[in-house]
Amino acid sequence: MQRQGWLRNRRLQEAIRQYNRGRARKVWPHLLLKLMPANRFNGFKDYGIGIGLRIPHYTHIFEKKPVVDWFEIISENYMVDGGRPLATLDRILERYRVVQHGVSLYFGSAEPLNREHLRRLKALVKRTGTGTPWLTDHLCWGSVDGTYSHDLLPMPYTFEAAKITARKVREARDYLEVPIGVENVSSYAEFHMSEMTEWEFLNEVVERADCGILLDVNNIYVSSRNHNFDPYEYLNSVPAERVAQIHIAGHSKFQKYILDTHDHPVIDPVWKMFEHTIRRIGPTATLLEWDDRIPSFDDVHAEALKAEKHIHAPVAVAL
Amino acid sequence: MRLLQLQRRMARAVMQPLTGADRIAPKTDAGYIKPNDRLTSVERLEVYSRSYWFRVLDSLYDDFPGLRALLGQRAFHRLSRAYLAERPSRSFTLRNLGSRLEDWLRSNPQFTGGRHALALDMVRLEWAHIEAFDNAAEKVLGPENLLELGPSFRAGLQPYIRLLALQYPVDDLRIQVNRASDERGAASNASLKHKHGNLTRRVSRSKPEQIFLAVHRLDFTVYYRRIAQEEYRLLNALRDGQTIGRAIRSAFENSSVSTDEQRSMLETWFAAWAELGWLCPPARSKGKRLTQ
């Protein structure tokens, strides 16, 4: 399986090189779609463009039955024992493909994984049956000594933290029996004790854990503005063969920092970064997050589908 | 500094109460955070602290609208901040944030402004509402199981049903609060403020009246069903694993209800429970015989 992914990536890189040399001008988007739609970190599934499943859209989805490539669900919203949340999920699963995205596994917390959390998460994975080909959560911490912040707190980029985080990702994957992708978070603070950059830390964790990446392009943009780094240096360092999924979203700009609020359309610089990412790694399952001041279903879906234009945008820069 | 030490220091700083102006305390320990060209270490930490407090306060605000109406916005906010400072979340899900509020409120009556018993009843009802919404539902006992009905029969109660003995009719109050919140959007802000003030006054003037309540759900919607004291006792006894015979005896112990009336009441209750799907196999003997 690993070999197959490697070959796929080699052929893709060669195709892109040929294109950039002007020898494959017409074939590249088609070639990309064929060559790099999926990898072992997303269960070799080519999912296209999805949106987050949110309560204000339930009525529209059940009444209009819109065509959507896939929905991402927040796992914790459905890790309950019964009632409306699970009944709604079952109805969604009858018609749509679903991928689970978590917010509180806290791979980066120094304390061990919460067994009750894992048990409930596994029950949800089983409920979605073959529905979730991969599962994601964040590269962050949020609990200590059993107390929860319910936030995505930033990691110190140290080798000790990478080792602990990677071990927990492996433990979760072994227990849940589904490929796991870790998502880079937006951050507003950096630590004196860090020993590497964020992208080096991401690489260190995913290599040690042998896991996938949920690459949040908007989060890279937000953090780059908050910490004064070049977002393209980050993007160019991400191991392309490990990217299982991409997130895009909007954010809010304040006087002294940018906050990842998921309450606006995606801004142009983020779309440019998305284009660049697709050129590097090929078309990948992409999801638009919109969590606050949520517009109509059609507006959110239309914003997500803008990604298609960027996926098929002409190549302008060499790798 | 090791990872665990850093996380303990940062969690302590992030979760410490904000000042009255919703700012982080200026002398907060933030030496482990790098400043940048726009923000000091403490200001960077403040982004997380404010985010933490707004998130958990919002969650309680949404989960306890009845208590909010009863106390008024300011008192509710004070209570929420004090509760969360003393009992921060111990669960991976915000759904459980209010699970310890009743217990905390019992030892902190100063936050209920002289309406302690009423506030406690409202908290119990609102937590029961959350549990009734998404607790498990077991397989309903069907007619084939109920054929065995006799004194030695055991039946369980659906896990989503919550039984409450209350000193105030808080079910009516909570329904009024729900109705008022449904009206939002159709009225101007000024009119809403006026209505909310009236509601708070109405709710806080509520007179004591002992009631027994089953908080349950039907077609995924939560309902409050008033039940008789004997019915409350009987359902509790069944949930505790007693046989039907014993449960009935304990339900009518010291009751002035005549035997004929008891028979009639039991027929009515069992018919209603069967229709609502309240009975399920007893908790500890799923898949085993339902009789002794």
Secondary structure class of A237 (helix, strand, coil): helix
Judging contacts by C-beta atoms under 8 Å, the chain B residues touching residue A164 are 3
**SS3 call for A27:** coil
Q: Which residue of A has its CA nearest to B129?
A: A83
Residue spans per domain, chain A: 1-36, 39-311
Q: Which residues of A touch B10 (CB under 8 A)?
A: 153
Residue A132 has pLDDT above 90, yes or no: no
pLDDT tier at A8, thresholds 50, 70, 90: very low
A residues 67-86 lying closer than 8 A (beta carbon) to B: 76, 79-86
pLDDT digits (tens, 9 = 90+) for A191-217: 999 999 999 999 999 999 999 999 999
Tens-digit pLDDT profile for residues B8-59: 999 999 999 999 899 999 999 999 999 999 999 999 999 999 999 999 999 9
Contact between A226 and B36 using a beta-carbon 8 Å cutoff: yes
A256: nearest CB among B1, B6, B38: B38
Q: Are residues A164 and B3, on separate chains, in Cβ contact within 8 Å?
A: yes
pLDDT band for position B195 (50/70/90)?
A: low
CB < 8 Å to A260, chain B? none
Residue-level pLDDT at B180: 83
pLDDT in tens, B68-99: 999 999 999 999 999 999 999 999 999 999 99
Q: Could A190 and B159 be called an inter-chain contact, meaning their C-beta atoms sit closer than 8 Å?
A: no
Kindly report the nearest CA distance between residue B135 and chain A, in angstroms.
Answer: 5
Q: Give A-chain residues touching B39 at CB under 8 angstroms.
A: 256-257
More confident residue, A111 or A10: A111
Q: Which residues on chain A are in Cβ contact (under 8 Å) with B84?
A: none
Q: List the 283-312 stretch of A: residues with Cβ below 8 A of B.
A: none
Binary contact (B90, A146; C-beta < 8 A): yes
Question: What is the tens place of the pLDDT at every residue in B124-180?
Answer: 999 999 999 999 999 999 777 777 778 888 999 999 999 999 999 999 999 999 888
What the block records as the tokens of B129 is 């509402």
* Residue for token pair 């302690």: B116
Residues of B whose CB is below 8 A from A197: none
Which of B1, B5, B7, B158 to substitute to test the interface with A, most A CBs within 10 Å? B7
Where does the pLDDT of residue A290 fall: very low under 50, low under 70, confident under 90, or very high at 90 and above?
Answer: very high
Residues 188-217 of B with CB under 8 A from A: 217
Residues of A in contact with B135 (CB under 8 A): 80-83
Q: What is the CA radius of gyration of chain B?
A: 24
Structure confidence at residue A315 (pLDDT) = 52
- Residue B86 sits at φ, ψ, to 5 deg, of -85, -35
Please state the pTM of the whole predicted model: 0.89
Q: Does B136 touch chain A (CB under 8 A)?
A: yes
Residue A19 in this model has a pLDDT that exceeds 60 = no
Q: Which pLDDT tens digit goes with each residue over B103-140?
A: 999 999 999 989 999 999 999 999 999 999 999 999 99
Nearest chain B Cα distance for residue A111, angstroms = 8
**Is B11 an 8 Å CB contact of chain A?**
yes
Q: Nearest Cβ partner of B6 from A82, A147, A193? A: A193
Does any CB of chain B come closer than 8 Å to the CB of residue A253?
no
Q: Which residue in chain A is spatially nearest to B16 when comparing CA positions?
A: A149
Q: Is the pLDDT of residue B198 over 90?
A: no
Q: Is A146 on the interface with B (CB under 8 A)?
A: yes
CA of A1 to nearest chain B CA: how many angstroms apart?
A: 34
Is the CB of B92 less than 8 angstroms away from the CB of A104?
Answer: yes
Do the Cβ atoms of B55 and A158 come within 8 Å? no
- The answer to whether B269 contacts chain A (CB < 8 Å) is no
Show residues of chain B in contact with A74, CB under 8 Å: none
Mean pLDDT check: name the lowest of A76-80, A271-275, B111-115, B184-188: B184-188
- Please choose, from the candidates B238, B224, B234, B245, the residue with its C-alpha nearest in 3D space to the C-alpha of residue B269: B234
Is residue A197 less than 8 Å (CB to CB) from chain B?
Answer: no
Which residues make beta-bridge pairs with A143? A148
| B54 min Cα distance to partner chain A (Å) | 11
> DSSP secondary structure string, chain B?
--HHHHHHHHHHHHHSPP-TTS---TT---TTBPP-SS--HHHHHHHHHHHHHHHHHHHHHHH-HHHHHHH-HHHHHHHHHHHHHHS---SSSGGGTTTTHHHHHHT-GGGSTT-HHHHHHHHHHHHHHHHHHHS--PPPP-HHHHTT-STTB--EE-TT-EEEEESS-HHHHHHHHHHHHHTTTTS-HHHHHHHHHHHHHHHHTPPP--EEEEEEEETTEEEEEEE-HHHHHHHHHHHTT--HHHHHHHHTTT----HHHHHHHHHHHHHHHHHHT-EES-GGGTTS-SB-
Chain B contact for A228 (CB, 8 A cutoff) = yes
Whole-number pLDDT of residue B238: 96
Contact at 8 Å (CB) between B162 and B121? no
Find the closest chain A residue to B8 by CA distance: A144
Please name the residue ranges forming H helices in chain A: 2-20, 28-35, 58-64, 84-95, 115-127, 159-176, 198-209, 217-227, 231-237, 268-281, 297-311
Class of domain B136-169+206-285: alpha beta
Instruction: With beta carbons less than 8 A apart as the criterion, state whether A148 and B89 touch.
Output: yes
Whether residue B186 has pLDDT greater than 70: no
Mean pLDDT of chain B: 91
Min Cα separation A69/chain B (Å): 28
Q: Tell me if A257 and B47 make a contact (CB, 8 A cut-off).
A: yes
- Closest CB to B92 among A83, A117, A259: A117
The answer, yes or no, to whether residue A3 has pLDDT greater than 60, is no
Structure-model confidence comparison of residues B234 and B190, the more confident one? B234
Please indicate whether, in this complex, the C-beta atoms of A148 and B44 are within 8 angstroms of each other. Answer: no
pLDDT score for B218: 97
CATH T-level fold of A39-311:
TIM Barrel (3.20.20)
Q: Inform me whether the C-beta atom of residue A18 falls under 8 Å from chain B C-beta atoms.
A: no
User: With b meaning 16 or more CB within 10 Å and e meaning fewer, what string describes B232-244?
Assistant: bbbbbbbbeebbb
- Nearest Cα of chain B lies from the Cα of A62 at a distance, in angstroms, of 16
